[in-house]
Structure 1
Amino acid sequence: MEQRTYLATWKKYIPVIRLHLKKSITEDQSFKLNITDFESAGDRGKSGYTFNIQMENGKVTNNISGSAVARDLYEALKADDAIKALLQDKAIKISVGKTFMFTIKTTHLSTYR
């Protein structure tokens, strides 16, 4: 079993992420993460903590296997029932950049696919 270094850190952010996910339906959302939360969980060094997760209907559509930070965030999102419900019928892109800005962009999936 691989180590879930950042899972506890992400779980602290789940209430905030849930709120921003709800708001992202009408406009893109972003908020600043606390860098020390992540540095105390694990040292990413030069590789940093930046990542993108693209999801459709709650399933990841891009490759996040190289990012422990992204994998652990996805685990935390899947464990929250309210968030799982918010992810349905939507395409969502979550990204974290070098400045630790957490961004959520949500689009509704077309029923004609």
Structure 2
Amino acid sequence: MEQRTYLATWKKYIPVIRLHLKKSLTEDQSFKLNITDFESAGDRGKSGYTFNIQMENGKVTNNISGSAVARDLYEALKGDETIKAMLQDKSVKISVGKTFMLSIKTVHLSIFK
């Protein structure tokens, strides 16, 4: 069983992520994460905490297997029914950069494929 080092940390952020996810339907969103929350959960050292998660209909479409921070965020998102509903019929990109800014971009998927 793999360690879910950052899951508890991400769960603290779920209410904020839910709010920004909803707002991202009209404009891109970003907010600053508290670096201390993540450093106390696990030391990423030089590799840092930066990642991108690309999702369509709530399913990850890029490879996040190399990032425990990203995998645990996805687990936290999947565990929230409200967020799961919001992710349906949408393409969502969530990323965290070097400045610890979490960004959310949402695009509605066309029903005409």
On whether the aligned pair clears a TM of 0.5, the verdict is yes
Report % sequence identity.
88
| Cross-structure match for 2:65 | 65
Residue-pair matches, total: 113
Partner of 2:26: 26
Return the alpha-carbon distance in structure 1 between the equivalents of residues 106 and 80 of structure 2: 18
Q: How does 1:56-95 map to 2 (within 5 A)?
A: 56-95=56-95
**After the TM superposition, which segments of 4 or more aligned residues of structure 1 sit over 4 Å from their partners?**
none
Q: Which amino acid aligns with 1:107?
A: V
Q: Which digits, 9 at most, give the CA deviation of each residue in 1:23-70, with x for residues without a partner?
A: 000000000000000000000000000000000000000000000000
Q: Match for 2:2: what amino acid?
A: E
Partner of 1:107: 107
* SS class of match (1:54): strand
Structure 2 unaligned regions, length at least 5: none
- Whole-angstrom CA distance in 2 between matches of 1:108 and 1:86: 11
TM-score, normalization: structure 1? Answer: 1.00
What pairs with 1:37-52 in structure 2 (closer than 5 Å)? 37-52=37-52
What value does the CA root-mean-square deviation take over the aligned residues? Answer: 0.3
Consecutive unaligned residues of structure 1, counting only runs of 5 or more, are none
Specify the SS of the correspondent of 1:25: coil
Q: Which residue of 2 aligns with 1:53?
A: 53
CA distance in 1, matches of 2:66, 2:49: 11
Distance 2:54 2:13 in 1: 19
Provide the rounded CA distance (Å) in 2 between the counterparts of 1:60 and 1:16.
21
